[in-house]
Amino acid sequence: MDRKVERLQRQTRRPATPGAVIEDMLEEMNLSQSALAGRLGVSRQTVHEIIKGKRAITPDMAHRLGRLFGNGPALWLNLQKSVDLWDALHMDTSAYAAIQPLERVA
């Protein structure tokens, strides 16, 4: 099993969402959601939904955020991936447990 997946299974708290990180950054920079939306070229509703965790970070949005904040798209996609994996692993693991792994060929 992947080490990251094993670590996520042991975590008792959900990882920070990209929206929570954005919200913190906006506070630190004294920037509104509307101003962020304008700089990103998206609607304020889009930014609001990301911050509230109702919309996931897409590769397009990751590029926009990475360009704006100067930290690249990978950071934003990795944040989203961690949340998505944690959610999947903590919803109903019985479906995963029922899957029999393939035998490895020597």
Annotated domain spans of the chain: 3-89
The percent of the chain in helix, strand and coil, each rounded to the nearest 5, is: 65, 0, 35
Instruction: Check if the beta carbon of residue 82 is closer than 8 Å to that of residue 15.
Output: yes
Closest CA to 74 of 59, 93, 94: 59
- Mean pLDDT across 59-72: 98
DSSP state, 100? P
* 1: pLDDT strictly greater than 60: no
What is the per-residue pLDDT for 2? Answer: 65
Mean pLDDT over the full length of the chain: 91
Has domain 3-89 been given CATH number 1.10.260.40?
A: yes
CA angle 7, 86, 101 (to 5 degrees): 70
